Structure 1
Amino acid sequence: MTIRRKTKAVYASDRELERRKRMRNLKEDVAASWFLLPICAVFVVLYAVPLAQTLYYSLTDWDGLNLNPGWVGLENYAKIFSDASILEGLGFTIVYAVLTTLLVTVIAIPLAVQLNQRFLGRNFARSLFFFLSVPSLALMGMVWKLILSPLQSGMINTLLVNLGLDTVPWLSNSRLAQACVIFVGVWAQIGWHATLYLAYLQSIPSDLYEQARVDGANARQQFIHITLPQLTPGIVVSMFLLMSGGLKVYDLPFTLTGGGPGFATNTVSQAIIDRGIGQQQYGIASALSVLFTIAMCVVIFAQLGISSMIQRRFV
């Protein structure tokens, strides 16, 4: 009987300790939740409410002035898929986002590897590539507009004329204008992403390379089997930033080409602003914003899924 009483007392004591532990954890969770309230409030005010309003206006013919807009249902969405200018802008936006992401990644990784080596003026080279990426894309667009001007007064065309060659319609030809926007977008972002990769390279233990050299691995094998797998987290972050930024791009094409010639370099963001603010077709602009938000979410979640598989494969 004594042993049973002691056993029951131990069980009761354990249950009491467990209850107190649960209560303590609950109090900690409640205390921590108070710190989340400001963040939740900001999210609701700045994101959730505007998104709900955008969804509502996308189903109306609101012009920005009428206090009682008419209900049109899915008519605005149908107009989007029948508008050639919007579809052309969507196509260029996707091409820009994909190509800039791939080109910057392919160029920035070898550049970061070179900047990680020991050579004379290494710190100056690192600073140079980084500070070239500091100015905004809008400023880059205005500067490169002077360089790539299709007129004879353009910097490159002036050089071609002095060499006895014909001028090139850099920004007045649709294909050349698209290529120029993509080129400037890549040029403006390489330095920053190379610096990002450089930070990850410096965190790789040197012992891995020393052991690989002892085992007879050459530079190419070390890059493939050590550098790339260790850079996988950096590649995921870099490509996520490039893809999301490329899909939202507005400032560079607008300042470099104005979306032209025609609608060759028009983007989805520019189409939303032009339709909403420029033409006061807020219903169509809101519908395009909703579709663009959905497309962005799909692309980002797909990218996160692919990145997760890559990380499980190499890390």
Structure 2
Amino acid sequence: MSGPVRQDVQAPPPAPRGVLAAGPVVPGAAAPTALRGRGPQAGWQQVAGHQAFLVPVIAVFVVLFLVPLAQTFYYSFTDFSGYSLDARWVGLANYGRILTDPSMLAGLGFTIGFAVAQTAVITALAIPLAVALDRAFAGRALVRSLLFFPAVPSIAVLGLVWGYILSPLGSGVLNSVIAALTGLGPVPFLADPWLARASVVLVAVWSQVGWHAVLYLAYLQSIPSDYYEVATIDGAGRGQQFRHITLPLLTPAISISTFLLMTNGLKVYDLPFTLTGGGPGYSTFTLTQSIITSGVAQGEYGRASALAVLFTVAVGAVSLGQLLLSRRLEGRIR
């Protein structure tokens, strides 16, 4: 009986000089000498390649934002009319005219009031609405879609539609319904200054409350259900769960929602313009409408530029203050 065949194991031939031999990689071992020095260079090349993708974005930002902003700031100290390039330096005269113009002051007052009012009302309605939409009921998906739909059409189109509904004439849709049900005369929804302001705010709330409710709903669905189960076991009711669990965990969503509402409210133009035309008088006049009608439309680009600079500074200050306040509130909750 023959024994097992013995095979001699030969060591692999040595690698040629200058070529690295393949072998197991030992964790923590130093890199081979031939590869040293390539890491930093390759890292810088990779970073430079990534930064190169930012060049188009920076170019667009400079051309479409920084350059026009610098031109606007310069024109605000001149009497530039938009037609001739020989603008005359007038200093702070444009800013002085703005601060003494009744239409500008009226636009400033309504713009701030509109932004604050719509932010407060939409936030107060959207959070409970999101809590209700988070519960299971028949037709929940359809209700969510219907509430989100008013945010889909253009706000200018909605302004025209609501202008027909709230028409102060007897032929207006709402006045026709009121006359048929109660026999009362037409209500001046868009002819009375206070009713016109309230109408603009209510239409803005109607068009945006569903969108912000969906935003809160997305955050609600990310809250773990264990929190509510433990609270229920401890005997906490729905009101206590909402105050101590839901509301604190919705703070990031509240920060985002109120920031969007305030900035968009300060920049509002299309809804008051299409719904009331800025009237009656200057009761629903906005700052953006002042820039266009009182500045650009009359060929007073210097005055319009001064108003745009003040408007940009005001929006930036409000946005920065709101962000700082939101971060401070989030820090306290954490």
State TM-score, norm by structure 1. Answer: 0.92
Unaligned runs of 5+ in 2: 1-30
Partner residue in 1 for 2:134: 116
1:229 matched to 2:248? The reply is yes
Equivalent in 160, 181, 186 of residue 178 of structure 2: 160
1:145 matched to 2:163? The reply is yes
Give the Å deviation of 1:32.
Answer: 2.2
Root-mean-square deviation (CA), in Å?
Answer: 1.9
What is the distance in 2 between the residues matched to 1:100 and 1:217? 32
1:207 matched to 2:230? The reply is no
1:44 matched to 2:59? The reply is no
Partner residue in 1 for 2:196: 177
What is the distance in 2 between the residues matched to 1:246 and 1:130? 19
Q: Is the 8 A contact 1:275 1:282 kept in 2?
A: no
Give the Å deviation of 1:306.
Answer: 0.4
Deviation string for 1:164-185 (max 9, x for gaps)? 1122111011111011101111
Give the Å deviation of 1:248.
Answer: 0.2
1:79 matched to 2:71? The reply is no
Partner residue in 1 for 2:277: 258
Q: Larger Cα Rg: Structure 1 or Structure 2?
A: 2
Give the Å deviation of 1:81.
Answer: 0.2
Q: Is the 8 A contact 1:100 1:182 kept in 2?
A: yes
Deviation string for 1:112-171 (max 9, x for gaps)? 000000111111111110112211211111111011111111111112222211221110
Q: Is the 8 A contact 1:112 1:194 kept in 2?
A: yes
What is the distance in 2 between the residues matched to 1:75 and 1:281? 12
Partner residue in 1 for 2:88: 70
Deviation string for 1:174-211 (max 9, x for gaps)? 11101110111111100100011111111111111111
Q: Is the 8 A contact 1:141 1:253 kept in 2?
A: yes
What is the distance in 2 between the residues matched to 1:19 and 1:83? 68
The sequence identity of aligned pairs, in percent, is 55
Equivalent in 50, 58, 64 of residue 76 of structure 2: 58
What is the distance in 2 between the residues matched to 1:73 and 1:22? 53
Partner residue in 2 for 1:4: none
Partner residue in 1 for 2:147: 129
Amino acid at match of 1:94: I
Partner residue in 2 for 1:238: 257
1:290 matched to 2:326? The reply is no
Q: Is the 8 A contact 1:85 1:263 kept in 2?
A: yes
1:187 matched to 2:187? The reply is no
Amino acid at match of 1:245: N
Give the Å deviation of 1:286.
Answer: 0.4
* Secondary structure at the counterpart of residue 53 of structure 2: helix
Partner residue in 2 for 1:103: 121
Give the Å deviation of 1:23.
Answer: 4.8
What is the distance in 1 between the residues matched to 2:329 and 2:59? 35
Number of matched residues? 303
Amino acid at match of 2:288: S
Unaligned runs of 5+ in 1: 1-12
Larger CA deviation: 272-281 vs 190-199: 272-281
